[in-house]
Amino acid sequence: MKNDGWNFEHTYSQLPPIFYRNQNPATAPAPKMVIFNQNLAQSLGLDSHTLSSKPELFAGSALPHGAKSISQAYAGYQFGHFTVLGDGRAVLLGEQITPNGNRVDIQLKGSGPTPFSRNGDGYAALLPMLREYIISEAMHYLGIPTTRSLAVVLTGKDVYREKILPGAVLTRVASSHIRVGTFDYVHAVGTPDDTRIIADYSIWRHFPKLENTNKYIMLLREVAKRQASLIASWQLAGFIHGVMNTDNMAISGETIDYGPCAFMDSYDPDTVFSSIDTAGRYSYKNQPKIGAWNLSRFAEALLPLLHEEQDEAIELAKTEIDYYWEIYNKSWLSGMRAKLGIMNEEHDDIELVTKLLELMKTYKLDYTSTFRTLSYPAKTSPLSSISDFTTWQAKWQARLSRQAQNQQDIFDIMQRHNPAVIPRNHHVEEALAAANHGDISPMNSLLKALYRPYEEHMIYSQPPKPTACSYQTFCGT
């Protein structure tokens, strides 16, 4: 039988049984391909032409050549409260070894009940899976570390939520699905030896250069560095994850689990899109703090490995949390400098950035288009009619004059750091509404623009018209 390019290994399922359960996906009665990511498939070494016509492999009705499906065990601090979870509606098919030697997980999401389903049915609806496809691909082309989406397939089986919805399965590609919640779980129900096993595996999988160092402290440091850099990139792009529970924090530093996420339109640090985040725990402004909070839970799980004396282990962990903030602040300010064309460093740069954001909040200006407009000197800025902006602009221009780059180089730099196209909420909803009626062409048009986010687009570069209604997103379970 032709394997269509599948090249699976199964190192995770060689770990002790505490970390997973063997689990086959449910059979889909009538699988139908909705969308298939040809470019991603080719980069994985897969026969994209053949596989795009085999929806059964991406719906759970048949397993790809060499697959061995499991569901992973993990827990999570959900809105601050510890809960034992696990893959309640997903199976890991294996680790694909790509032509360039990378190891990536291939997971089916929405593939039916597992031992971790609790009271859920294990299935997923079409529109949330398409939404994850759109947003994750947009993040990739913006250069933000992320899981990817290989395919979305209709199962032919309805799912029951507030109403009856068509069921679907998303094929997700990730560096791994090891989460902070994986360590939370082992810390709660396992032994220090179990923690050491998953820590050693994580180092082997993601941080092999740590093998000959004080590796558990350095594991914490590397995860801190990746999370700080990731969350800074979210803030710079105006992205709001929505549910930053520890089970949604991958130690690889990739964005994972696109539930109630969205990109901000008008700048407001208090922005929340999730319908369930009524207290604003995961608002835009809180994302960096929650990143540090989640990292602290990771550090707690690692304490027995950091030092035999708990007090000393805690002090070592605190040092790495401080390091997280150091990397976050440096990454965010460096990114803001680039968005404003600033290529050297001055002490007052933070004040210049902060003042601009204050103006944007006060006058309810669109986050993405304001920065993009500043990148083009011939364009009229939405700030130009605001008297306060004149003072800020004069300081900005004076700041730019104190560096070596000429004006054209400065604006070229800004245009490479300020996207023209993001997955605007109204365009995403339009694409999903059409897909719900069987028309995938608006989604394909949107994706085509998102693949070139730094190029102007007549339709997709435009912010939405003002509305009195607040945009809400849902977990999509």
Distance from the Cα of residue 272 to its chain's centroid:
16
pLDDT at 325 over 70: yes
Q: Are 198 and 61 in the same domain? A: no
In a domain, 88, yes or no: yes
Q: Are 314 and 182 in the same domain? A: yes
pLDDT at 474: 57
- Name the domain count of the chain: 2
In a domain, 126, yes or no: yes
Last residue of a domain, one of 143, 176, 209: 176
Write down the catalytic residue from 184, 247, 277, 366.
Answer: 247
pLDDT at 123 over 90: yes
pLDDT at 276: 87
- CA-based angle 262:34:146, to the nearest 5? 40
Q: Are 161 and 207 in the same domain? A: no
Q: Are 12 and 138 in the same domain? A: yes
Distance CA 70, CA 22 (A): 4
In a domain, 438, yes or no: no
Q: Are 170 and 185 in the same domain? A: no
477 close to 465: Cβ distance less than 8 angstroms: no
In a domain, 426, yes or no: no
Bridge partners of 223?
A: none
Per-chain mean pLDDT for the chain: 94
pLDDT at 212 over 70: no
For 124, the domain range is 8-176
pLDDT at 41 over 70: yes
Cα dihedral 202/148/253/234 (nearest 10): -170
Burial of 271 (0-12, 13-18, 19+ CB in 10 A): buried
In a domain, 431, yes or no: no
pLDDT at 475 over 60: no
> Which tens digits make up the pLDDT trace of 81-91?
999 999 999 99
State mean pLDDT over 127-134.
97
> Which tens digits make up the pLDDT trace of 239-287?
999 999 999 999 999 999 998 999 999 999 999 998 889 899 999 999 9
> Which tens digits make up the pLDDT trace of 337-389?
999 999 999 999 999 999 999 999 999 999 999 999 999 887 777 777 888 89
Is 412 catalytic? The answer is no
> What is the percent of the chain with per-residue pLDDT over 90, rounded to a whole number?
89
Q: Are 144 and 229 in the same domain? A: no
> Which tens digits make up the pLDDT trace of 6-37?
999 999 999 999 999 999 999 999 999 999 99
pLDDT at 385: 80
Q: Are 236 and 129 in the same domain? A: no
- pLDDT band for 465, please (50, 70, 90 cuts): confident
Residue position matching structure tokens 């909070």:
293
Q: Are 153 and 292 in the same domain? A: no
pLDDT at 470: 60
pLDDT at 50 over 90: yes
Q: Are 47 and 155 in the same domain? A: yes
pLDDT at 467: 62
pLDDT at 117 over 70: yes
pLDDT at 413 over 90: yes
- What is the 3 state secondary structure string of the chain? CCCCCCCEECCHHHCCHHHEEECCCCCCCCCEEEEECHHHHHHCCCCHHHHCCCHHHHCCCCCCCCCCCEEECCEEEECCEEEECCCCCEEEEEEEECCCCCEEEEEEECECCCCCCCCCCCEEEHHHHHHHHHHHHHHHHCCCCECEEEEEEEEEEEEECCCEEEEEEEEEEECCCCEHHHHHHHHHHCCHHHHHHHHHHHHHHHCHHHCCCCHHHHHHHHHHHHHHHHHHHHHHHCEECCCCCHHHEECCCCECCCCCCEECCECCCCCCCECCCCCCCCCHHHHHHHHHHHHHHHHHHHHHHHCCCHHHHHHHHHHHHHHHHHHHHHHHHHHHHHHCCCCCCCCCHHHHHHHHHHHHHHCCCEHHHHHHHHCCCCCCCCCCCCHHHHHHHHHHHHHHHCCCCCHHHHHHHHHHHCCCCCCCHHHHHHHHHHHHCCCCHHHHHHHHHHCCCCCCCCCCCCCCCCCCCCCCECCCC
Identity at 196, one-letter amino acid code: R
Q: 466 or 390: which carries more pLDDT confidence?
A: 390
pLDDT at 51: 97
Distance CA 79, CA 454 (A): 35
**Tokens, residue 80:** 């601050």
In a domain, 190, yes or no: yes
In a domain, 323, yes or no: yes
- pLDDT band for 468, please (50, 70, 90 cuts): very low
pLDDT at 477 over 50: no
Q: Are 132 and 224 in the same domain? A: no
Q: Are 399 and 294 in the same domain? A: yes
Last residue of a domain, one of 157, 176, 195: 176
Q: Are 170 and 221 in the same domain? A: no
- CA-based angle 314:317:323, to the nearest 5? 145
Residue of 91, 76, 84 whose CA lies nearest to 122: 91
pLDDT at 214: 87
In a domain, 152, yes or no: yes
Last residue of a domain, one of 123, 148, 176: 176
Residue position matching structure tokens 């913006």:
142
